[in-house]
Amino acid sequence: MTFVRWFEETDRSDVEEVGGKNSSLGELVQKLSGLGVQVPPGFSVTASAYRRFIEANELREPIRAALAGLDLEDVGGLAERGAKVRRLMLAGEIPAEVEQAVRAAYRELCQRAGEETLPVAVRSSATAEDLANASFAGQQESYLHVRGEEELMSRLLRCYASLFTDRAISYREKRGFDHLAVALSAGVQQMVRADQASSGVIFTLDPESGFRDVVYLTSAWGLGENVVQGRVGPDAFYVHKPTLREGFASLVGKQLGAKELRMAYDFERGVVENLPTSPKERASFSISDEEVLQLARWACLIEEHWSQGGEPTAMDIEWAKDGPSGKLFVVQARPETVHSQRRGPLVRIYHLREKGQVLAEGLAVGQAIAAGPARVIDDPSHMRAFQEGEVLVTEITDPDWEPLLKRAAAVVTERGGRTSHAAIVAREMGIPAVVGVPNACRLLRSGTPITVSCAEGETGRIYQGELAHDVEEIDPAQLPRPERTKVMLNVGNPEVAYQQAQLPSDGVGLARMEFIYAGMVKVHPLALTRPDALPPHVRREVEDLVRGWPDPQSYLIGQLSLGIGTLAAAFYPRPVILRFSDFKSNEYAHLLGGESFEPHEENPMLGWRGASRYYHPEFKEGFLLEVAAVRRVREEFGLTNLKVMVPFCRTPAEGKQVLEVMQEGGLVPGEQGLQVYVMAEIPSNVLLADAFAEVFDGFSIGSNDLTQLVLGVDRDSDRVAPIFDERNEAVKRACAMLLESAQAAGRPVGICGQAPSDYPEFAAFLVERGIDSVSLTPDALVRTTRTIVEVEGKLS
């Protein structure tokens, strides 16, 4: 029997002898160290050594007897039986021949490192571990900073006993593994001094959505157990794999974690302990961007190496940084076994099973049903009273409400229409909203159970009580796809981009920069370029917000590029059309510092917005920051699928001025395939479509504003809200005119307004007239796609 094998002597085929964890380490050392992947040196105490231990101490029958007739429902019985087996194991003696081999290997490892008593990690590695469908991760014990032969032998015995922790026994029982058929190997690996640096975990997919084109990396100060066991909120990073492989620095996601604790080694007491981190450590990233990219490159190599039949195998990887040397190491790698086996996202269609008393009605947004206690709140400053899962009832919302909206089961507002802030955010969050409900705050009392239904057509209803309802799940992959018309999505919130990207679409017809501003930037751009114009207390808030960045402008460019980059990466290589910021002056004023730079306008909807801002001396420098963020996404991240769109462009001359400012900022139409679209949302865009076609590469109909301006209806006015209807013949004629002129000029036309999502018949009208693409909210994807396929079938 061989009782010790060095990592370089093993590979993935040796699971039965060295266990899943150690066989993976051997595979890394043998096959990937030549490509730069660094693994701390070490050896495996083999499964043969474990079996020799069991035989020498005659433990097989006592273990079998202790576990006979085990009932997992009897938690007390499980604990009692597990403790008995562990006592039997710890009372055993490691056979002399095994002990001799382990001591000799440890001495050689010390010699290789040039240390007399090298600190090592002793990690359990079971022979049924890290399989494709059963990870067994965390079932057995590992020991860190083990120093000297005596301590090593003691920890080896404890590893053997840990094969029978309560959780390991339960896990094997549920999975149908024979307890005595599973053996344990122990990996003895040179300790990486992460207690003086950082460590964490890598997944080669997004663990929330299962999206495969990103590497997700977490990091925290100190040893990695805190991250693995979830004791701290780590820093988190996303790297886009396709463009990383092309050589781009595609770090598209970056979030600072709380990192409340640092796990370190106390040499005086000889124990590992958790210490509170300092305010500076909590406010700083625990790993550099370049180190994230390096680890992501290694993760891609590991994933590709583990691939089977051409299909990449999603991996769960642990890494550590050595404080004294500054070197990065991979300390574990195993197939990811939970998220990689999930099905793709499903579309849900809701049906009420029962009726109840209707308390109020309004316009339905989304096509879902939700129930919960009502919570009436009149100001976002009172959001602490709101509990997750309640139904928010309020007069109207703006970007200040978004943190609360993320926790709501549904939303009811007294004011607003289908294009209000509450409606747009509700669609992004996938929750139902009923807007324009007169006296909702009076009719619906806090704490009262209600059901919000938006699954009954255009009218949204609020019922008394929590009514039973069904949810039908449809696999979008089974949906028929249109042959001519591209079906795209409207997105804005980067948090759900990876989930939505797995829906069957041809890309993004409208990515809203405002969501990224409100959720990730939070500050007015001019507050960063002209801080001297701010009141002292606001200036301090801005300084706190941008602390840690090289300069204030870098903060905005960095945050914007991360949000934009996430959207572009999620749908890559499909096109993503980003609309430059389209806040109105009153909305810009709500951003931190905004009141110092925004004029008061009687009608902001028709005021200083869109294109007119971008070249204006009082805002141009802010727009150039947006341009810099787009350049970074396209040039540094390599996401050239990103296109841009100019909103509310009143004249072709304005369009030319905007393009000149873009070129001044280094963003040149045509370079690296950059296309610039214009929103068609003003009657002048329709009447002068031939002239606009000479300036821009394409059009996207903004049916919300176009309806407002064609009909002369303020869509925020409750008094005239019933007149606002995209299906009005005047609006349809305007769309038809635009399509005819654009087609004659050879320019593509899409629609990103709300109408096709709300009204399938409007989508049918546009398809009949040859529109190139229809961009939908995710909740309308199934229904409207079916309509488009049906219309195309009739036209063919």
Q: Count of residues for the chain?
A: 796
Which residues are within 8 A (CB) of 578 and not within 5 positions of it... i.e. 6 or more apart?
511, 513, 564, 567, 568, 630, 642, 643, 644, 645
Task: For CA atoms 773, 777, 781, 784, give the dihedral sign.
Answer: negative
- Give the DSSP per-residue string, 636-695: IS--TTEEEEE-S--SHHHHHHHHHHHHHTT--TTGGG--EEEEE-SHHHHHTHHHHHTT
Options 145, 421, 454, 524, the catalytic residue:
421
Annotated catalytic, 179?
no
533 to 358, 386, 517, 596: CA distances (angstroms): 52, 36, 21, 7
Which residues are within 8 A (CB) of 733 and not within 5 positions of it... i.e. 6 or more apart?
none
d(CA 653, CA 362) in angstroms, rounded, equals 41
Burial degree of 68 (CB within 10 A; 0-12, 13-18, 19+): exposed
**Residue 180's Cα: distance from chain center in Å?**
41
The two tokens of residue 115 are: 């240390």
The per-residue b/e assignment along 683-722, b for 16 or more CB within 10 angstroms, e otherwise, is: ebbbebbebbbebbbbbbbbbbbbbbbbbebebbeeeebe
Options 300, 441, 649, 752, the catalytic residue:
752
Annotated catalytic, 421?
yes
The two tokens of residue 141 are: 């014990």
Q: Which H or E run contains 621? A: helix 620-631
Q: What's the one-letter identity of residue 686? A: V
The two tokens of residue 267 are: 């040499």
The two tokens of residue 497 are: 């981009």
Whether the Cβ atoms of residue 30 and residue 5 lie closer than 8 Å to each other: no
The catalytic residue positions are 421, 752
